Chains A and B, each alone.
Chain A
Amino acid sequence: MMHISGRKRKNLEMRKNWPGYLLIAPAIIAVLALNIYPLFRGIALSFTNYNLVRPNSPIFNTFAGLSNYQRIFTDEKFLLSIGNTFKWTAVNLVAQLVIAMLLALALNKRLRARSFFRTMSLVPWAVPHSIAAMTFTFLFNANVGIINILAVRFGLLSESISWLGNTGTAFWCVAFVAIWKGIPFQMIFILAALQNISGEIYESAEVDGATRWQQFWRITLPIIKEPLAIATILNLIGIVSCFNTIWLMTEGGPLYSTEIIYTYAYRQGFIVHDLGTASASSMVLFVIMMLISAVYLRLSRGDKEGQA
């Protein structure tokens, strides 16, 4: 047998696979230009004095150390936005997960017009964020919104209220829209996983006397745990970065009651024009997302090892 050195093998592989590399090159370049470069630029900016409206300042574009971080962590609005981000994430994640699971379980049954219901349940996903935000803003309108009109007509409210204009209701209204919009994404993953479970397993369980709850808890959930974890992580990223819905409906208001880190970063960047603090707050968001993703991945890996 002829011996080929490692370097030669690499060269041969490279020569053999170059059309493949060529084909994926545009995607790699796009990822580098649109994801990797902005990420590193963002990290660099978070340690830089970069107030766009002060380009002539002697400290403009100089190393700022941790001062941008210091400034955002002493800003009440940023601290509030961290709290809101966690609240927003928890509410959305739990609600979307529970409703999507229930919907998926229902749509996995042999129902009449199941295809129709499956298609209908995907509609919110197909609606663009901006359209959904505008539509619900109109529905919640204090003057002409159908929600107020019905609530007043049926005696639930004595007079119309501004759902998006009050600090007590704005958060929940925007969260409702995000939940409505996010459920199909989670549901489709769960439904796909459920369809891979053989009916025979449930039949055997039934023969052994397992209740519906036991079947769900002992069979369904362990089997779909992995795809569920992946779907949840992906969903989580979508939830935390749900900028459009919030900005279009409330612009983070009233009185920052719907301000999450993302909207805070946008405000710092495009209204206050301070890219240093905007990048610092984005980095905080980035770290939070990394941590959550790491925890989930570790959990799912741990389960795999346990199963092995």
Chain B
Amino acid sequence: MKKNLALLLILALLSTLFCFGAGAEGLTGEIVISVGSDWVDESKAQGKSFMDAVRAYEEANPGVKVTAQGASQQDIKESFQTAALAGGGPDVVIMDNSGHAIDLAAMGLLLPLNQFISDDELEATYQPGPLNSGKFEGVYYSVPWYLDCCGLYCNTDYLEACGLSIPETWEDLDNCLKVLKENGYGGIITYKSAYAFYSFFYQNECPVIDTSGEMPEVVIDNEAGTEAWNFICKLITEDNGLVESFKEATSWDKVYESFANGEATFLLGGDWCKSGINDVGTSVNYAITDMVMGKTRATVLGGWTWNINVNTKYPELAYDFCRYMSSPETYDILKATGKHSAQTSWDVPSGLSEENQDLVVLGEQFPYTMARPSIINEKTIDEIITNAILTVVYGQANAEDSLAAMAAELRANIAANYDI
């Protein structure tokens, strides 16, 4: 009797173990995802559509539970990094594609995607810019979700008042700023970072930092880079091109306020600025257009990616969830928010809702949109470039000296993070 009972117990134990094992294959488990607070705020369309998609995933995969945690968009990387370094953290985190994933991959905190999907499949599924923004030492770490790029928002009231048309080239922009200044109107507002300024370098065929070789190489002070830098400095000094609010624009809210209140005539920013400006409640009439053209057409890439924590207990499930969230199955989220999927299959005009058709012009820039350099500590690189711009804004250095100092600091920073 006792023997039979023991046998029964062993069988029950084995079947339980088998069920759990089979479950892992059949995707069961509980994962925590860390996303920006707006994505979990169901009182708004953005959060509602996102959480609906999460629930749909849970329904399609019985035995799976996804807990979405809202986090500050600005601190999401730092929060994740701290938790992951301590051996914990959410299983999945979304991050800006401005180099965060590179830092985390360098620290060994992200799972490489090659254990779930081949590079060829990834390259066939996603656009190269967003995909490369999560590539470190030849390995992909981020599943691209949506992408955006920097465009030009123009206050058409001011332009009409000055008899100007929307600028299309560097020369047009230069001329516009001069005329606007003469008529007492403000120039450009953008986020106080290097983000929008990368576009001018790219338009002059300068990648700022060349990452095509084995080691990153600073090229910001080559001939093309110097030309682009001189143009930026000219806009700042001669045309008084950056409005006063730029100096304190450490959040996009301040950028929207400046434009919506009529301080600036131009805003350099991505598709998200439209809702930001409208939320401020503006009476300004404005147009959204593509970035001005230099030697070539180019603009800087933005967007967000899905990343998997190296500490996750459910890597397969985490990857499947990332795949799902960036797949056509969840295009409704992007439609609701006016964002463009990073999938190659995404059709820009039909992917946007009726009221967001004015953002199509930004989507049309994607073929010539370039990512920021994929290097370690991109945030520090950004800070160095921003500070160089500020030294010119404050009149502490001229174009030549600021460029030389910036290039030297960039080289020193790269040398500290790579075996050079």
Contact = CB atoms under 8 A, between A and B. Distances in A.
A65 to B, nearest CB: 17
7 contacts: A140-B248, A163-B248, A165-B192, A165-B248, A254-B247, A254-B390, A274-B416
Contacts of A144: 257, 261
Interface in A154-213: 159-167
A9 interface: no
Contact of B244 (A52, A54, A161, A167): A161
Interface stretch (A87-95, A114-122, A265-273, A283-291): A265-273
Nearest to B396: A255
A54 B380 CA distance: 15
B69 interface: no
A166 B390 CA distance: 10
Contact of A53 (B107, B254, B391): B107
A160 B244 contact: yes
Given A165-B244, A255-B391, A143 B107 contact: no
Contact of A54 (B81, B106, B249, B394): B106
Contact of B247 (A53, A166, A273): A166
A167 B248 CA distance: 11
Q: Which range contains the number of A residues in contact with the other chain? A: 20 to 34
A102 to B, nearest CB: 32
Contacts of A162: 244-245, 247-248
A85 interface: no
Contact of A271 (B106, B380, B396): B380
A71 to B, nearest CB: 9
A253 B108 CA distance: 31
Residue of A140, A142, A160 most packed against chain B (CB within 10 A): A142
Given A55-B107, A271-B379, A273-B377, A142 B245 contact: yes
Nearest to A277: B416
A271 B244 CA distance: 27
Contacts, number: 79
A74 B394 CA distance: 25
Contacts of A55: 106-108
A52 B376 CA distance: 11
Interface string A237-251: 000000000000011
Interface of B: 78, 81, 85, 103, 106-108, 192, 244-250, 254, 257-258, 261, 263, 376-377, 379-380, 383, 387, 390-391, 394, 396, 416-417, 419
Majority secondary structure of chain A interface residues (helix, strand, loop or mixed): loop
Given A166-B247, A255-B391, A51 B254 contact: no
A232 interface: no
Contacts of B380: 271-272
A235 interface: no
A163 B245 CA distance: 10
Given A165-B246, A255-B390, A271-B377, 14 more contacts: A52-B106, A53-B103, A54-B106, A142-B244, A142-B248, A142-B258, A142-B263, A162-B245, A162-B248, A165-B244, A166-B247, A255-B387, A255-B391, A271-B379
A271 B257 CA distance: 28
Given A143-B263, A271-B377, A167 B394 contact: yes
A141 interface: yes
A255 B248 CA distance: 12
A256 to B, nearest CB: 8
B416 to A, nearest CB: 8
Nearest to A161: B244
A266 to B, nearest CB: 10
B417 A51 contact: yes
B108 A143 contact: no
Nearest to B108: A55
A26 B244 CA distance: 53
Contacts of B250: 250-251, 253
A51 B390 CA distance: 28
Nearest to A272: B380
